Amino acid sequence: MGLLIGDEAPNFEADTTEGRINFHDYINGSWAVLFSHPKNFTPVCTTELGFTSKLKPEFEKRGVKVLGLSVDPIEDHKAWAGDIEETQGTALNFPLIADPDGEVAKKYAMIHPNADNTLTVRSVFVIGPDKKIKLKIEYPASTGRNFNEVLRVIDSLQLTANHQVATPVNWQDGEDVIIVPALSNEEAKKKFPDGWNEVKPYLRIVKQPGA
């Protein structure tokens, strides 16, 4: 069985395009996104890494450190970075992990033998400051990821970690949220003194805290 939400993200040491890191030391109380790409010098991955580089201000605003990974050697990473800047109009600005022996990929179950024996699928892990896995998504190699969705989920995770709310279907930052069922009406009155819309006793809609 692979890693599950709530599990501690495995630690590792690895070479990256920004030097050697110890993963737990590197994230050091921050949120983190760790995502794998199947292979360097491939078209979909090139677009993903370019777009993620453009999103750096959005990740920084949320206190998130981003790391990419493939099973290619560090020399290939450095050469590929030039192609990414040339074709995507932005320089790579986050570490790419070199995992030529597949040690990190195996720890995170990024290699799916029925898809490919050696290349990683497009895994995405969002890891909280407590080093616990908060989200995992897996895409096939042929489908590029939606990193705007990754940001949306991080907004939800950070909001719900600090307030006793959940986010409804298709929620976007700033929209109404749901009071969690575990919070009684008496307790909710203290946290949400302006009240809420009770559609059902278990479905209480309230303005997003801090919005």
Active-site residue (options: 45, 49, 141, 177): 45
Please confirm, yes or no, whether 45 is among the known catalytic residues: yes
As a whole number of angstroms, the distance between CA 31 and CA 129 comes to: 5
Half-sphere exposure of 162 (CA within 13 A, CB side): 10
Q: How many Cα atoms within 13 Å fall on the side-chain side of residue 11?
A: 9
Catalytic residues: 45
